[in-house]
């Protein structure tokens, strides 16, 4: 028998003067975790030379982080529900900060990869806690839309800002500062959360589903590992096949465990009967597959085709970062009235057009004529989409499932980014190889390959449109006093 949900207003209502601090803490936390997924990219060649990474081993500087984040997000979200949001928020910050300090001092590849894995574990605990805290602090539709808008804009902009910061660090400082920069931020964030975020009680009568936690964590890690290894080893390699087969078995076992009656499941499968939650997660999968793959291929295009320096590459991401922030913040006041469906449809269409426009940039492209417009359009569209999906994916759920919904949404995004990058890298690499085999020079062949990747990313955003149509619309223009506006098909 499960424990009744803890009343929302009795546990998570923060004084009005604290809400600004809570929002800032959640946004800074999300910025820090997303930033770390991209900030080291620009410095990878320097890291490889200094620590003597092998060519195959270098990818694990990023893959170890992604693997841990994706594998533990669902567990991290459930821990926030069971043991208290602030408690798990603080645990995540502490682990992430300590791992960042250790990674900055790494003198060999193994220690750096291990530190990145523990960073990912800290992020997996911290990220769902931030959304859960926002959901239980900002209870009105309008204020929740603004809070999620800030969180979503921060999340999207952090990926682009990571390239900018990585370029600055790579050009003027040691690569180690891409990790050490988290230490003072983490310490300040720990103090802010400890003082500003109200404690929420755990659910002592609900036990953690250890079997479910083990199967889903190992299954997701095996899935991401198989996807990450496939570009180098090929889909027919025994290691790739074995990883994907293990993932299928473990995830099937997880679903079987969750469906058994009389259990206290890690993920109650009834959550997927909420059409808004299911559709929003599909939109998140395809849209983030497009956005985070764009960070990778746009960086390569700027440096290898247009000849930009790391710093110039980072500065070129400013319109994209500002566009994401503008889209997320700009749509927030209107989201409770419009509902998520029209916002998703408009944002996905704008992002798709921006990606198609960007894919046409060639070796003679200029920033003002060929990059500024499409990156702004992409950013504004994606900012609106991130805000709307965050709202929709947590709509209508009780407070004791806030962490679960957050973990589910972020797991979906991580899977989208991992799978999207593999698909686009495969297509791009084949186009580049064909171009070189046909006698084209490296710049022209690379331009064609990266252009194909960006145009295919536009198809990812278009693929999210049917899921956006499945999101119910708002009934009426004004939210009810008791909570979120009702939805209808």
Give the integer Cα–Cα distance in Å for 181 and 167. Answer: 14
φ/ψ bin of 439: left (φ > 0), alpha (ψ from -120 to 50), beta (otherwise): left
* pLDDT classification of 477: cutoffs 50, 70, 90: very low
Give the integer Cα–Cα distance in Å for 334 and 348. Answer: 17
Number of Cβ within a 10 Å radius of residue 132: 31
| pLDDT, average across residues 51-77 | 78
Ranges 50-59, 180-189, 191-200, 377-386: which has the least confidence: 50-59
Planar angle of CA 420, 426, 431, nearest 5 degrees: 125
The predicted model scores a pTM of: 0.76
Give the integer Cα–Cα distance in Å for 12 and 406. Answer: 17
What was the pLDDT predicted at 77?
A: 77
DSSP per residue over 373-387, as a string?
Answer: HHHHHHHHHHHHHHH
Give the integer Cα–Cα distance in Å for 411 and 9. Answer: 28
> Per the structure block, which two tokens stand in for 46?
């320097």
Give the integer Cα–Cα distance in Å for 477 and 199. Answer: 34
The answer on pLDDT for 7 being more than 70 is no
* pLDDT classification of 482: cutoffs 50, 70, 90: very low
The residues that bridge with 474 in the sheet, in sequence order, are: 487
What was the pLDDT predicted at 350?
A: 95
Q: How far apart are the first and last CA of the chain?
A: 33
What was the pLDDT predicted at 293?
A: 85
Which of 85-89, 132-136, 232-236 is most confident?
A: 85-89
Give the integer Cα–Cα distance in Å for 462 and 470. Answer: 14
**Fold category of 16-207+273-473 in CATH:** Growth Hormone; Chain: A; (1.20.1250)
What was the pLDDT predicted at 202?
A: 58
Question: Quick check: 277 and 405 in contact, CB under 8 A?
Answer: yes
Q: Which residue has the higher pLDDT, 220 or 396?
A: 220
| pLDDT, average across residues 391-418 | 74
Give the integer Cα–Cα distance in Å for 73 and 406. Answer: 9
The answer on pLDDT for 379 being more than 60 is yes
H/E segment holding residue 473: strand 473-474
> Per the structure block, which two tokens stand in for 77?
């979200």
For the chain, domain boundaries: 16-207+273-473, 208-263
């Amino acid at each position: 028998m499960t424990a009744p949900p803890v009343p929302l207003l009795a546990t998570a209502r923060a004084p009005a003067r604290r809400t600004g601090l809570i929002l800032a803490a959640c946004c800074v936390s999300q910025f820090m975790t997303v930033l770390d997924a991209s900030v080291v990219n620009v410095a990878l060649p320097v890291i490889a030379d200094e620590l003597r990474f092998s060519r195959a081993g270098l990818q694990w500087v990023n893959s170890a982080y992604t693997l841990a984040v994706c594998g533990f997000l669902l567990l991290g979200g459930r821990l926030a529900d069971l043991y208290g949001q602030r408690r798990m928020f603080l645990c995540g910050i502490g682990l992430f900060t300590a791992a960042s300090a250790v990674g900055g001092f790494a003198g060999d590849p193994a220690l750096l990869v291990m530190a990145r894995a523990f960073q990912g574990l800290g992020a997996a605990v911290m990220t769902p806690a931030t959304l859960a805290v926002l959901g239980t602090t900002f209870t009105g539709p309008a204020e929740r839309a603004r809070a999620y808008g800030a969180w979503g804009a921060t999340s999207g902009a952090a990926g682009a800002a990571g390239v900018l910061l990585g370029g600055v660090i790579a050009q003027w400082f040691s690569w180690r500062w891409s990790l050490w920069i988290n230490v003072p931020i983490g310490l300040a964030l720990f103090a802010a959360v400890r003082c500003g975020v109200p404690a929420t009680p755990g659910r002592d009568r609900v036990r953690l589903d250890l079997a479910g936690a083990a199967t889903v964590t190992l299954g997701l890690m095996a899935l991401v590992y198989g996807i990450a290894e496939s570009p180098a080893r090929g889909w027919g390699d025994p290691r790739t096949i074995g990883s994907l087969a293990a993932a299928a078995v473990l995830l099937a076992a997880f679903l079987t465990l969750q469906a058994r009656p009389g259990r206290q499941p890690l993920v109650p499968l009834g959550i997927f009967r909420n059409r808004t939650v299911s559709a929003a997660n599909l939109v998140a999968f395809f849209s983030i597959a497009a956005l985070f793959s764009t960070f990778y291929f746009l960086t390569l295009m700027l440096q290898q085709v247009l000849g930009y320096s790391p710093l110039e590459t980072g500065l070129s991401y400013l319109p994209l970062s500002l566009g994401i922030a503008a889209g997320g913040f700009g749509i927030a006041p209107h989201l409770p009235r419009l509902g998520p469906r029209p916002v998703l449809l408009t944002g996905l269409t704008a992002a798709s057009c921006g990606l198609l426009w960007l894919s046409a940039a060639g070796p003679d492209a200029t920033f003002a004529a060929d990059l500024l417009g499409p990156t702004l359009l992409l950013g504004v569209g994606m900012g609106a989409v991130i805000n709307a999906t965050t709202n929709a994916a947590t709509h209508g759920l009780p407070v004791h499932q806030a962490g679960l919904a957050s973990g589910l949404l972020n797991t979906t995004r991580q899977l989208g980014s991992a799978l999207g990058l593999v698909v686009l890298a495969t297509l791009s690499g084949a186009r580049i190889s064909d171009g070189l085999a046909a006698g084209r020079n490296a710049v022209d062949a690379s331009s064609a390959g990266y252009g194909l990747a960006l145009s295919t990313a536009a198809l990812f955003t278009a693929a999210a449109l049917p899921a956006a149509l499945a999101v119910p619309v708002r009934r009426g223009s004004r939210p009810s006093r008791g909570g979120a506006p009702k939805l209808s098909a």
